[in-house]
Structure 1
Amino acid sequence: MSDQTIILRKTPFYFIRLLVIIEFIFAFLPVFATVIFPVQAEYNQTVLAQSLSFTVFFILVLTTLQVLIIAISFFSWYLPVYRIDPQSVGYKRSGANDFKELIKIQAISCLSPEQHWLGKRFDYGDVFIYSNTEVGVVPLRDIANPTGIAIKLEELSASYWDPSLPLPIQPAPELIAAGESQTVEFKASILWDYRQKRPNKTLSEPIMKTLAAFMNSTGGTLLIGIHDDGSVLGLEADFSAMTKSTPDGFELIFNNAFNRLLGVEYRQWVNLSFPEIEGKTICVATAQPATTPVYFQHQGQEEFYIRAGNASQPLPLSKATVYIRDRFEI
């Protein structure tokens, strides 16, 4: 087995959740059984009733059923496993089965880790793996540390990309129609704050974090002037807050923020264009994969971002060190 192979079982909280449901059901089952069905009257007419009271019999039956269901629940948690290796993600239901390939690593186009409130508390949840092939969406459900697993899959997927090759450029309308993903993100503006209805210079920070994440991953496209829901806002609100109300003025604001937060040496990896959609001007920032790590620099601190699903994820130092070593071969 490769050193990069990961074997995943469902989190123990999955088993605990099953137990809670079972205990809840069995807490009320005797009451419903005796009220709805004439169980005791029927039992008293059997030969067994002469040597074993109905109460003892009923307890034995419930206990036996409970043990069987708990055993089934345990094996339904323990036996199925996922396997992640540098080539593919596989799954098998039991030790007697072989692993079935769910998706090839190189076919991964997007990763989305998801956790509900309890999952966030105990660090478990689902990872949805998206593919542009006929495979579609592959869910890894109820696993521990879903964000970490998504990052690992991103690292493996990135190994199939050649940073020296330019990222394919798609028309902006196609990107908007497809929605946000591993390689596409929307931002409403770089300067105009739609909530506060005034200029806000801090809006450039999430834009630069996204671009850093794209450059540290497999590249991507950031569309500015587009709402999260895909509706076209345009850059006119940004233009109104600029001294030079043109795309050139916008690029000047962009460059100042980029050089301050990321570094002028990385500007070569990002191309800006200003197409018109629905009569409104937007900005399309296409980021190529960088050949060296890109750090977001703010208030004397450096942060390292990558893409994990349709979000830009900061990595702690320990994970960033491993990722940088593998991604940039440093």
Structure 2
Amino acid sequence: MEETVITKRNPIVLIRFFVLIEVLAFGLYFFSTFLDEYKQLIYDFLPISGLLSYTAFKFPFLSILQFLITVYAFLRWYYEAYTVKPGSISHQRGVLIRRMRKIPIDKSSEITVSAGLLGKLLQYGNIRIKNESGGNMTLADVSRPQNILETIKEYLDPSLRFFKPNLDRLLKEAEHERLEFKSSFRFDYKTSQVNRNLEKTVMKTVAAFLNSNGGHVVIGVDDKKNPIGLVNDYKTLSRENKDAFENHFTNIFNNMIGPEFRHKINLSFHNFGGNEVCVVEAIASERPVYLKNDDNEFFYIRTGNASTALKLSEIEEYHRTRFKSQPGKN
């Protein structure tokens, strides 16, 4: 993971500004129609009045003024940025005079994300950071604020960081408590069609990893660890590529496990034997993770190389020992 992440305000702020300028310009023009006589008198005092008539001067002047305002607005947006580093966040802005403000962040920082209806639709919003010792900051109108929030959390807790898995090493191991192999995510090689039960099986394994000590699911290899690849999974999607695969994986994950745990999961893609293979890495969760299946919820843990559903009588005891700080369901 990079040690520095730079994010900017969503370009929608430029559109909002331009719309505001147009509204103000229209209002000003409408109001000025009642002052034509005074405008002419004021213009007569200017040295340029002897060279150009008021009418000839007005339209070029307004066009140039609007152009300068547009350029300034773009440069103001272009030079404004937020820099997220381990232990601090800084805000840089200014066109002619550059300014920078920096605040510390640590585990005591209160961090919230908010977005309006348009922000939810276009994936932008505000991240508010409040420190006990002062030094508050709002990252205004940033794109994909949830991703930035996850990055901040990873910087605050190094255990959340992901490193590129060593696929060769994983393939040399047999399945165990922290490793499982899958031939596909949703394509059933026995029936040659989509089988959503396969998706549930992968999510069951991921949930068990989250509730235990974490682990890896390698998707795209057969029982003998020969590379099958993801091409048949890709063909079941609207776009046949890894981005569509990850988006679909995330949708299934959010529905069956919950988006609040998505930052505990990382997908990486590897070329193995001429085929693309996906490695899903899960980090142990500090909270209980329940798998939603239809109208039911199940609690899985890893027992050896299998994912086991605990009985109600067993879940409470497991909570006490595994999630000591947060007993019970969250």
Tell me the TM-score normalized by structure 2: 0.49
Q: Comparing both chains, which one has the higher relative contact order based on Cα–Cα distances under 8 Å and sequence gaps of 6 or more? A: 1
